């Protein structure tokens, strides 16, 4: 019998338990009341579900003081401890609360502005993220610059008191819904690789920005091509020094998928338990090979959880250990969850068998298992592909010979 992993260890101080009760009560009340229809909606592969309602949900969370928990109080956060942030994500996932629409601002741009931004940038942007009045997207990847981000060719130059930006980004998640984009652009003519880049904050709603949706395997369009054609942003909306954007861009990546992975595992455990129910009902669980794959999945989830908690508790997120160890831990985490989730999608298809080939949800739509199977192919790509993670571990952490560079 598969069980949801127990709460993280070390989270039992009185304040922590009071905090847990506050979060649990608020979620129970909201998800049994005004937001009852939103349980379980959204998330990777399902971002199209109830967007407006989930936006309202995020704003209700903000009004209750439950967004940006780890931020300093002066910027609307709660100075929440690591343990409290873990508690929040655990309770959030256990309550089957909807996927957040403002996560790119809260988890990526906000921490970046806190770490590298000016006081004026903090005043301008943090309240909009904290209160979910402005949504963000991430303008890194380009047709010729994905894994090799230093090949960015989108360019920008100062034209009076504004930057003029021209170029193309691709795979830009939620750009069609975002108010702002954090863009890595080449601002020093003739520069190459990670030199001469800047980290610009660019408003999306302007004539120089065109967003073209990319339809995915799942039939929905969560990411986009974004074309900048003399797009404009104010001269002071560069985070860090002009030309020093690589450092800032890498800083953002260290915030990607931190504490929220704890809640992610609870969602994974629920998916695994639901799939086990399907397998029990249709008899496939009696097949020893299938049963063995369920066992392996259960063990894999425990390994993932142990690794993530150890990483967070020992400051391997970059707070107290050297950059090499932090990079290695982050890459192991990424490999563990991405492969685990992709394998679950494959297991789901094998459990469903031939009926899994038919789109049988209302409107001939894909059902949740089919969506999971198709979208989890992307898990091993975004946030750094499997191959790139293995390169980091082998070259930067283990010190193996570097692969030949072009």
Which positions touch ligand FAD (CB under 6 A)?
Answer: 137-138, 140-141, 146-147, 171-173, 223, 378, 381-382, 385, 387-388, 391
Six token digits for residue 382: 């975004």
Least separation in angstroms between CB 72 and ligand FAD: 26
Q: Which residue has 């898990």 as its token pair?
A: 379
DSSP state letter for 321: S
| Helix axis angle, 288-313 to 260-282, nearest 10° | 170
**Shorter beta-carbon distance to ligand FAD: residue 151 or 291:** 151
Contacts with 333 (C-beta within 8 Å, 6 or more apart), sequence order: 257, 261, 304, 307, 308, 311
**Shorter beta-carbon distance to ligand FAD: residue 38 or 137:** 137
**Shorter beta-carbon distance to ligand FAD: residue 147 or 287:** 147
**Shorter beta-carbon distance to ligand FAD: residue 321 or 381:** 381
Burial class for 161, CB neighbours closer than 10 Å (0-12, 13-18, 19+): exposed
Nearest residue to ligand FAD by CB is 146
Least separation in angstroms between CB 53 and ligand FAD: 22
Which sign does the torsion angle of CA 312, 316, 318, 319 carry?
positive
Contact 283, 29 (CB under 8 A): no
The values of phi and psi at residue 163, to 5°, are -85, 140
The DSSP secondary structure of 27-48, one letter per residue, reads: HHHHHHTTTGGGTT--STT-TT
Q: Of the listed 49, 225, 256, 346, which one is catalytic?
A: 256
Least separation in angstroms between CB 169 and ligand FAD: 6
Nearest to 67 by CA among 87, 82, 41, 85: 85
By residue count, the chain amounts to 406
Contacts with 151 (C-beta within 8 Å, 6 or more apart), sequence order: 142, 144, 145, 193
Least separation in angstroms between CB 327 and ligand FAD: 15
Alpha-carbon gap, residue 380 to 377, rounded angstroms? 6
Alpha-carbon gap, residue 258 to 83, rounded angstroms? 13
Six token digits for residue 214: 């990319």
**Any catalytic annotation for residue 107?**
no
Contact 171, 201 (CB under 8 A): no
Nearest to 163 by CA among 182, 146, 148, 179: 182
Alpha-carbon gap, residue 354 to 11, rounded angstroms? 45
Least separation in angstroms between CB 294 and ligand FAD: 27
**Shorter beta-carbon distance to ligand FAD: residue 137 or 262:** 137
Least separation in angstroms between CB 154 and ligand FAD: 11
DSSP state letter for 16: H
DSSP state letter for 285: G
**Shorter beta-carbon distance to ligand FAD: residue 78 or 257:** 257
**Shorter beta-carbon distance to ligand FAD: residue 187 or 218:** 218
Alpha-carbon gap, residue 51 to 204, rounded angstroms? 18
Least separation in angstroms between CB 68 and ligand FAD: 20
Alpha-carbon gap, residue 237 to 182, rounded angstroms? 10
Least separation in angstroms between CB 220 and ligand FAD: 11
**Shorter beta-carbon distance to ligand FAD: residue 103 or 270:** 103
Six token digits for residue 68: 């940006």
Active site members: 256
């Amino acid at each position: 019998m598969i069980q949801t992993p127990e709460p993280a260890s070390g989270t039992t101080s009185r304040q922590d338990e009071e905090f847990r009760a506050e979060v649990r009560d608020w979620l129970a009340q909201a998800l049994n009341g005004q937001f009852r229809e939103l349980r379980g909606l959204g998330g990777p592969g399902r971002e199209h579900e109830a967007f407006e309602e989930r936006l309202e949900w995020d704003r209700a969370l903000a009004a209750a003081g439950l967004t940006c928990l780890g931020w300093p109080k002066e910027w609307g956060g709660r100075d929440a401890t690591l343990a409290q942030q873990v508690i929040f994500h655990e309770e959030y996932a256990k309550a089957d609360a909807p996927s957040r629409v403002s996560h790119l601002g809260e988890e990526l741009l906000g921490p970046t502005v806190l770490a590298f931004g000016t006081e004026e940038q903090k005043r301008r942007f943090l309240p909009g993220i904290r209160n979910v009045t402005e949504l963000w997207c991430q303008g890194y990847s380009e047709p010729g610059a994905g894994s090799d981000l230093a090949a960015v060719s989108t360019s920008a130059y100062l034209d009076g008191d504004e930057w003029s930006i021209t170029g193309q980004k691709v795979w830009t998640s939620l750009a069609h819904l975002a108010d702002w984009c954090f863009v890595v652009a080449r601002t020093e003519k003739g520069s190459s690789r990670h030199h001469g880049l800047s980290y610009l904050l660019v408003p999306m709603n302007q004539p120089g920005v065109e967003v073209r949706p990319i339809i995915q395997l799942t039939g929905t369009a969560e990411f986009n091509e974004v074309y900048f054609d003399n797009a404009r942003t104010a001269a002071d909306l560069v985070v860090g020094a002009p030309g020093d954007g690589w450092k800032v861009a890498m800083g953002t990546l260290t915030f990607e998928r931190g504490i929220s992975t704890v809640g992610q595992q609870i969602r994974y455990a629920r998916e695994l338990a639901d799939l086990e129910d399907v397998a029990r009902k249709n008899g496939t669980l009696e097949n020893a090979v299938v049963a063995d794959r369920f066992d392996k999945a259960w063990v894999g989830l425990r390994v993932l959880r142990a690794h993530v908690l150890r990483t967070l508790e020992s400051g391997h997120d970059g707070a107290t250990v050297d950059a090499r160890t932090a990079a290695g831990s982050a890459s192991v985490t990424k490999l563990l969850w991405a492969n685990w989730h992709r394998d679950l999608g494959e297991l789901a298809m094998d459990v469903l068998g031939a009926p899994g080939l038919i789109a049988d949800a209302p409107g001939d739509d894909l059902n949740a298992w089919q969506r999971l199977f198709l979208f989890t192919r992307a898990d091993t790509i975004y946030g750094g592909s499997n191959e790139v993670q293995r390169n980091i571990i082998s070259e930067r952490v283990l010190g193996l010979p570097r692969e030949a560079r072009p």
